[in-house]
Structure 1
Amino acid sequence: MKTSRFTSIAVMCVTVVLLLSGFVCANAEPQLYRTARRIARTEVWNDINSGRAGSATVAILDGGEAVYAEGFAMADREDSVPVDPGTVFNIGSVSKVYTATAVMLLVGEGKIDLDAPAVRYLPEFVMADPRYLDITVRMLLNHSSGLPGSIAAGNFGFQYNAAIHDETLAVLSRTYLKHDPGAAAVYCNDGFTLAEMIVERVSGQKYMDFLASRIFEPLALGHTGASVGDRTVRDAAAGVVAAYYRPTTGQKEPFEAVSFLGSGGLSATAVDLARFADSFSSAGAHILSEPALREMRKSQPSSSAGKLRNPELAYGLGWDMTYVPEYQEQGIQVLGKSGGTGNYNSMVYTVPDERISVAVIETGPGGRSVKIALSILDAVLVEKGLVKEKALSVSVPPKPEVIPDEYAAYCGYYILTGGGLANVSLDREANRFRVSSVLGGMEVPATCLYYSEGAFYSDDSQLYFATVDGEQYAAMKSSIGFDMVYMRRLPAIEVPCSMAMEMNGKQWLRRNVKPFEGALLANSHLVQSSTIETLPGYVDFFGIKSTGSCDHFHSPSAICIIRRCSPAGLPFQRRK
């Protein structure tokens, strides 16, 4: 009886100690970042509970110190391993900023000239389009090269593709540019693959070895390296890796390997990612010279910039944005870069003058890391008195007006930014613009737009039509405040060519499918080609293409990201 009473008292004491310990830890958190922590926890768990993400990690650095770092959910469900601040995730296209940094290190040593032709450093780089000789190193890093986009085949999956450099050069050798080099800024992965190759050629080191010795080690980024699918095979020090589980089945995916090292093939913890972003402040630990830091913080506009109604997405060297309009108006510069792969999504923001950085990484392609990271950053800036708190407002839908007659000129076929095709038509009786997706030669209603005060609205978006340098566009205003081209009018071909073979309704098997490719590329394995009777001279074949002659076709648009194909060089074989 005495033993039982003693045991009960002991258990009660331990329980009280544990409760007090939790209370002390909770209150030990800095009050300054209380709102930011609340937003992080609320929004991340919202993503996880809704199925948009499976797990996540968040970090806030202030003055070079990690003032908040937390993991959410499980890194490994089978072994009950939770995500913590040391858990590694793929960071996708945030890798581009590391590539730009690597190039700028070599620029600082006088080994690379940003405005020299890329072929000076990579003479084996050739294209079917002679304009490629005008592509500079800078254009590779600010998305203005005119390269088609992404040679993805074999480079997203569960094993590193050691042939990626040779395959990239081979495909580009029979490819045409989307636009004149420097004429437009269109997101492009292949430019960073070429930049990765230039770093290797100029430095004499393997790309990952260069990053390790010149970036990771000097900045103490001990958890940063190649993508998790590559690291878990060859790097015993990879640590705990966040696995991706399919939300519908709970099935664990193999660790994802991304072979585009320069454009999307790195992994890191949120703390490492925020610490890397902090290196762009001259006040803290940094590896770039002052001139290089200034260059990395500058907007890198193309010759077409500034022609929409509002500021366009301000690409930098590797960065998606070199400022955010609402903060720029208050004297605060923000650099930002997002990343997404088949299994992960990420976002990092940094305020270099204040040494504040926020990083959010999630498993799952559907997470809202971009929005969550910006909300956290805003809370930190408000709590520190650097920006004004946003006033609460109620959005009232604008009152529909009669669509002016001049907008009838904008009816027709458009190429979406992702390469898809849409048809815009005017329904006078309903006083609406109707937008239909064109899939397999068939038109499927997508949305209706009503007009008010120079813009068109649907339930969840706003866009406007504009003519720039003789080209017709539809542009949308993003939540961050930038205008973004949504689609471009497809020009009529005056003398259309007919293909030597019938393309309508044919199915094609991609002949270079690798056994380790991920689900992200599954829709490219079997492709149907189709023609559109009212759109002569074009073929819908893994994105809309114009027929250049009877035996080849290519991308007609500066915003279409699919590369040129020809029957002789196609990675497709017609299905019998």
Structure 2
Amino acid sequence: MLKSRIAGVFCLCCMLVTTLAFDAAASKKNHYESAISKVRSEIWQDINSGKCGSAAAAIMVDGKVVYAEGFGMANREKSIPVTTTTLFNIGSISKVYVAVAIMLLVDDGKVLLDKPVTDYLPEFKMADKRYKKITVRMLLNHVSGLPGTEVSNSFGFKYDDNVKQETINTLARAHLKHDPGAMAVYCNDGFTLAEMIVERVSKMKYMNFLEKRIFKPLGLKNTGIGVGEIKGKPVALYYDPKTGEMHPTETLSVLGAGGLSSTAGELCLFADTFSAAGKLLKKDSLAEMRKAQPSTFRGKLRNPEVSIGLGWDMTGLPRYDAAGIQLLGKSGGTGNYSSMVFTVPDRRISVAVLAAGRGSNAMKIALAGMDAVLVEKKLVPREGKTILIPPKAQKLPQDYASFSGYYASNTKIGQVVFDEEKNSATLFIFKEKEKVPAMTLVYNNGYYYDAEGNRSYFTSTGGETYYVSSLATLGIDVIGMQKIKPIEKPQSLRINMDGMVWLRRNVSPLEGIIAVDSHFVKSLLYKELPGYVDFMGAKRIDSPEFAGMPFDAIRDQTALTLLEKNGDTWVWISDLLYSPAQSAASLKAGGNSVKIEGDGYNKWMVADEDMVVSFTKPKQGRIIMFSSGDTVIYDSAVNTGDAYTAKGSYIECSGFANDVFTVIAKPIGSDKKK
């Protein structure tokens, strides 16, 4: 009886304590509940719709993390959930770290922003004399004019320090797409050069410099190299949203451009250092990093452009500028991860979102979270809900015909056709030789609107014509495509490249899955565009051996150079090397032995009939199979076992010098096809 009474009193006390604790917690208002709810809701929408598999978010105010949470499973096989210490690759947010590293050297008196890059890297040369005018500052604010991105083996499953020398080699035969300083066009290679400057001037390995000068002073114990190189710490793995297959953990060898990993909380802690001098940078360097760093093109579009800074994507947005609030922001995207960090340095508010998934709306989610915090603090007014009212078509402007013609982005070529009767414009995209309608735009009050209410316009300036997306919700304009100029006296390459299939030959077996699309490519010529060739984007034919970059405002352009090798005409597409498909060996019934030669080039075979194939490969070797229509049907990085290959399919074997592969092929009858 006594025991039961004691137990009853104990239970009553527990209930009382629990009730009091709950009441106390309930009475303590969470000032950030609106932001937290918004972030949670949108992250789960991304996960449930397959845009990402897992995610993490954090909000920091006045130097304290007021919210941090993980979503989904970091490791599905082991049922390990994402927590606040789970690591994600942060992609291009890494650019802010290398910019800070440069500014630390500026503080040390060892680097001057406006000195030529060649003063620090004398080995940096280009096939364009203007390269000597590129300064250190121009590397960090995307105005250098460099073509764009070193693709070959930059994304992979293992860190490769050789990517820096390969970048130097590629740039040595490259041209600029515009005068240094003329335009701000996103460029990864500039940050690889900045990384090299940090190493050269500091006489330290880049990661060691970051550890000593940034990570350790800030107490960043979970920020470092990409997750593919991380051992003993929790990592958010990437799973293909279509197949559910786990991909090998990803490493980017371009550390300055996009090779770091971190947590959402530590991203906020790093961003908070921009709130005051002395946390990392001295006063003048901090001010330099917080201000806009425009090109001479600034002001030539209707509305403000993105206000690029040193490393930052933006140093403000019109909505917040109007309220006297400076917003710094940087996004990141890799083959497997998406990320975004925003900070309002004067108010010490930071928001970060990380996701394992290429299609995540990390930027949108982080901005929604930041906006909710600022609204709660009454720093900006709450925005009303936007109601989409389809605009009524108005008469096309008098000059509309001057904007008709062919346009291109870095990978797509299209045609804009105006319809005077419907007061509309239709954008057709080339799918090989077929023109496929991509969207129809209705003209209204100076802008063209698509079915979702997104607005755009056409403009000509400086002898060039652009198709511009006007992002009304952000209040900024972004060039989406540039018009392809007709050539008065078009030239031709010395070989007819129309319809040719090309096989990439300088592939490392550890290269990332995101780059597999570059392995099997078709080149095309269009009768409507004499003097141009389409090989991973439009190129202007400048000589029988060379086709260069035709645009000044399009990112990640490449040039084409023909060369003779092994009795065939091969092609350099900037840093990517290709041989014609006819150079592939025939896949024979029975055993096929493939050896990687001393040059390290991967080997190709083509199936002359339907077969089932099995493989024996080196430990780090890789086999990828493509259908005749360039679809990947097998990749040993994620697939195992035997595979079916139809007639006309290609098999790629990549490895290291002297690696030997065995491919056993068994022909099958048509009645056994599946």
**Is TM (by shorter chain) over 0.5?**
yes
Q: How many angstroms does 1:429 deviate by?
A: 4.0
What amino acid maps onto 1:133 in structure 2?
Answer: K
Q: 1:529 to 1:352 in 2, by over 3 A?
A: same
**In structure 2, what is the Cα distance between the partners aligned to 1:28 and 1:175?**
64
* Match for residue 402 of structure 2 among 383, 399, 409: 409
**In structure 1, what is the Cα distance between the partners aligned to 2:545 and 2:151?**
24
Number of the residue aligned with 1:529: 523
Q: Is the 8 A contact 1:400 1:452 kept in 2?
A: yes
Q: Deviations over 1:262-294 (max 9, x none)?
A: 0100000000001000000117x6110000000
**In structure 1, what is the Cα distance between the partners aligned to 2:367 and 2:462?**
34
**In structure 2, what is the Cα distance between the partners aligned to 1:401 and 1:540?**
36
**In structure 2, what is the Cα distance between the partners aligned to 1:108 and 1:147?**
27
Q: How many angstroms does 1:191 deviate by?
A: 0.4
Q: How many angstroms does 1:450 deviate by?
A: 1.2
Number of the residue aligned with 2:601: none
Matched, 1:574 2:566: no
Q: How many angstroms does 1:231 deviate by?
A: 2.2
Q: CA RMSD in A?
A: 2.3
Q: Is the 8 A contact 2:539 2:548 kept in 1?
A: yes
Q: Is the 8 A contact 2:147 2:555 kept in 1?
A: yes
- Counting matched residue pairs gives 565
**In structure 2, what is the Cα distance between the partners aligned to 1:20 and 1:163?**
62
* Match for residue 395 of structure 1 among 376, 388, 399: 388
Number of the residue aligned with 2:288: 295
**In structure 1, what is the Cα distance between the partners aligned to 2:220 and 2:248?**
25
Q: How many angstroms does 1:563 deviate by?
A: 2.0
What amino acid maps onto 1:35 in structure 2?
Answer: S
Q: 1:33 to 1:500 in 2, by over 3 A?
A: same
Q: Is the 8 A contact 1:143 1:191 kept in 2?
A: yes
Q: How many angstroms does 1:388 deviate by?
A: 1.4
Q: 1:11 to 1:367 in 2, by over 3 A?
A: farther
Q: How many angstroms does 1:11 deviate by?
A: 14
Report which stretch shifted further, 33-42 or 10-19. Answer: 10-19
Q: Give the secondary structure class of the aligned counterpart of 2:146.
A: coil
Query: Which has the larger strand fraction?
Result: 2
Matched, 1:201 2:200: yes
Q: How many angstroms does 1:10 deviate by?
A: 13
Q: 1:331 to 1:119 in 2, by over 3 A?
A: same
**Equivalent runs, 1:128-147 vs 2, <5 Å:** 128-147=127-146
Q: Is the 8 A contact 2:424 2:441 kept in 1?
A: yes
The answer to which structure, 1 or 2, has the higher relative contact order (CA under 8 A, 6+ apart) is: 1
Matched, 1:443 2:449: no
**In structure 1, what is the Cα distance between the partners aligned to 2:542 and 2:8?**
86
**Equivalent runs, 1:67-466 vs 2, <5 Å:** 67-232=66-231, 236=232, 239-282=233-276, 286-416=279-409, 418-460=410-452, 461-466=454-459
Q: Is the 8 A contact 1:144 1:186 kept in 2?
A: yes
**In structure 2, what is the Cα distance between the partners aligned to 1:182 and 1:22?**
60
Matched, 1:38 2:37: yes
**In structure 1, what is the Cα distance between the partners aligned to 2:42 and 2:8?**
41
Q: Give the secondary structure class of the aligned counterpart of 1:520.
A: helix
Q: Give the secondary structure class of the aligned counterpart of 1:198.
A: helix
**Which entry has the higher C-alpha Rg, 1 or 2?**
2
What amino acid maps onto 1:209 in structure 2?
Answer: N
What amino acid maps onto 1:345 in structure 2?
Answer: S
Number of the residue aligned with 2:543: 549
Q: Deviations over 1:171-201 (max 9, x none)?
A: 1111111111111000000000010011100
Q: How many angstroms does 1:20 deviate by?
A: 6.6
**In structure 1, what is the Cα distance between the partners aligned to 2:334 and 2:174?**
25
Q: How many angstroms does 1:483 deviate by?
A: 0.6
Q: Any runs of at least 4 consecutive aligned residues in structure 1 with deviations exceeding 4 A, and if so which?
A: 8-30
Q: Deviations over 1:398-420 (max 9, x none)?
A: 2111213310110011122x332
Q: Is the 8 A contact 1:465 1:475 kept in 2?
A: yes
Q: Is the 8 A contact 1:399 1:452 kept in 2?
A: yes
Q: Give the secondary structure class of the aligned counterpart of 1:275.
A: helix
Q: How many angstroms does 1:84 deviate by?
A: 1.0
Q: Is the 8 A contact 2:187 2:555 kept in 1?
A: no
Q: Give the secondary structure class of the aligned counterpart of 1:295.
A: helix
Q: Give the secondary structure class of the aligned counterpart of 1:32.
A: coil
What amino acid maps onto 1:529 in structure 2?
Answer: S
What amino acid maps onto 2:195 in structure 1?
Answer: E
**In structure 2, what is the Cα distance between the partners aligned to 1:155 and 1:506?**
26
What amino acid maps onto 1:469 in structure 2?
Answer: G
**In structure 2, what is the Cα distance between the partners aligned to 1:258 and 1:22?**
48
Q: Is the 8 A contact 2:339 2:354 kept in 1?
A: yes
Q: Is the 8 A contact 2:186 2:555 kept in 1?
A: no
Number of the residue aligned with 2:558: 563
Q: Is the 8 A contact 1:415 1:560 kept in 2?
A: no
* Match for residue 474 of structure 1 among 457, 462, 467: 467
Q: 1:248 to 1:28 in 2, by over 3 A?
A: farther
Q: 1:513 to 1:23 in 2, by over 3 A?
A: farther
Q: Give the secondary structure class of the aligned counterpart of 1:217.
A: helix
**In structure 2, what is the Cα distance between the partners aligned to 1:364 and 1:115?**
38
Q: Give the secondary structure class of the aligned counterpart of 1:403.
A: coil
**In structure 2, what is the Cα distance between the partners aligned to 1:9 and 1:140?**
72
**In structure 2, what is the Cα distance between the partners aligned to 1:69 and 1:190?**
33
Q: Deviations over 1:538-567 (max 9, x none)?
A: 000011101110011111112142221202
Q: 1:22 to 1:185 in 2, by over 3 A?
A: farther
Report which stretch shifted further, 299-308 or 152-161. Answer: 152-161
**In structure 2, what is the Cα distance between the partners aligned to 1:28 and 1:413?**
63
Q: 1:560 to 1:80 in 2, by over 3 A?
A: closer
Q: Is the 8 A contact 1:323 1:334 kept in 2?
A: yes
Q: 1:16 to 1:157 in 2, by over 3 A?
A: farther
Q: Is the 8 A contact 1:419 1:560 kept in 2?
A: no
Q: How many angstroms does 1:148 deviate by?
A: 0.5
What amino acid maps onto 2:449 in structure 1?
Answer: Y
Q: 1:13 to 1:536 in 2, by over 3 A?
A: farther
Q: How many angstroms does 1:125 deviate by?
A: 0.6
Q: % of aligned pairs identical?
A: 49
Q: 1:550 to 1:41 in 2, by over 3 A?
A: same
Q: Give unmatched runs, 5+ long, in structure 1.
A: none
Q: Is the 8 A contact 2:181 2:295 kept in 1?
A: yes
Q: Deviations over 1:357-406 (max 9, x none)?
A: 00000110100110100110011111112111113343322211121331
Number of the residue aligned with 2:506: 512
**In structure 2, what is the Cα distance between the partners aligned to 1:244 and 1:169?**
31
What amino acid maps onto 1:207 in structure 2?
Answer: Y
Q: How many angstroms does 1:16 deviate by?
A: 7.0
**In structure 2, what is the Cα distance between the partners aligned to 1:187 and 1:309?**
20
Q: 1:100 to 1:24 in 2, by over 3 A?
A: farther
Q: 1:110 to 1:25 in 2, by over 3 A?
A: farther
Q: Deviations over 1:223-261 (max 9, x none)?
A: 0001101223xxx4xx21111111222211111111110
Report which stretch shifted further, 440-449 or 56-65. Answer: 440-449
What amino acid maps onto 1:449 in structure 2?
Answer: L
Q: How many angstroms does 1:427 deviate by?
A: 2.5
Q: How many angstroms does 1:441 deviate by?
A: 3.3
Q: Give the secondary structure class of the aligned counterpart of 2:32.
A: helix
**In structure 2, what is the Cα distance between the partners aligned to 1:286 and 1:336?**
19
What amino acid maps onto 2:438 in structure 1?
Answer: A
What amino acid maps onto 1:294 in structure 2?
Answer: A
